[in-house]
Every structure is written in structure tokens, then in C-alpha cells.
Amino acid sequence: MKMYVNMEDLNDYEKKHNRVSYRRLVDRISNNIWLFNKAPELSDYCFDFELNNDYDEDVYQYYLIDISPYALEKLQELKCKDLIIGWSEKLEEYVLFVTHFGTSWDYVLTSIEPTTILGEADL
């Protein structure tokens, strides 16, 4: 999968590895995310998620994420495994499950290659 970007906006780490960072991908699909680390304490209330990805990793952080239906559909259509997003019926919100910690999102690389050519598979 490729993502259309302005190549000058990429950080040196992204350029070196020719991969888009986790931060860039999250910023592309959503303008608003809110840290929600109280989620495990409220698990009886809010963990009725219907996940759009299968995962078997530990989750270290939870974010409520404002994502458009188009962006979510595109991620699903492209089988993007870099983000784990679930829907909570009780909260009526999408939740981003973060499975890494200790590194700035600017330096966690995704499997997505940056491109300056916009094509039908681009996000």
C-alpha cells in the first residue's frame, strides 16, 4: 500500500527507510484523537468492540479516534494492518489500540510506502 505525501514533509527516518510513520498515518486518517487509558478500568462497560483487524499483540494505550467512514473503509479495503481500530457500541466511538510504547510515533514505521503519485490505492 502507498500513501500520497509531500516528500518534503517526511522526517529523515521516514525518508531513510521509505516508510510512512505511525504518526503520519494517524494524522492522515483523523484530525482528532483523545487519550483514553482508563479503558481497561472500564472494560465491563466499554469492551464490546467489533474489531476491523485481527491482532494478538498487547495493547499499551487506547485512544478515542474521530475517523471518517471513507478513511475507515479505505483502511479495510487496503487490508491495512498497521492500525488496530475497534468500534464500541456502548461508547458509540471508534477506539485506536496502540500496541507499541516507548518510541515517538514519528519513529514507528508502518508498512506503507510514501509516494508523490496519487493512484486509486492511495490513502
Q: What is the pLDDT of residue 48?
A: 54
Helix (H) or strand (E) holding 50: strand 50-51
Q: State residue 54's pLDDT score.
A: 60
Read off the pLDDT of residues 54-76 as tens digits, 9 standing for 90 and up: 667 788 899 999 998 888 888 88
CA end-to-end span of the chain, whole Å?
Answer: 8
- DSSP state letters, 58-88: PP-EEEEEE--HHHHHHHHHTT--S-EEEEE
For 37-44, what is the mean pLDDT?
71
Q: What is the pLDDT of residue 5?
A: 85
For the record, the C-alpha cell of 24 comes out as 503520519
pLDDT at 11 over 60: yes
How high is the mean pLDDT of the chain? 82
Model pLDDT, residue 49: 54
Residue 108: what pLDDT? Answer: 96
pTM for the structure as a whole: 0.81
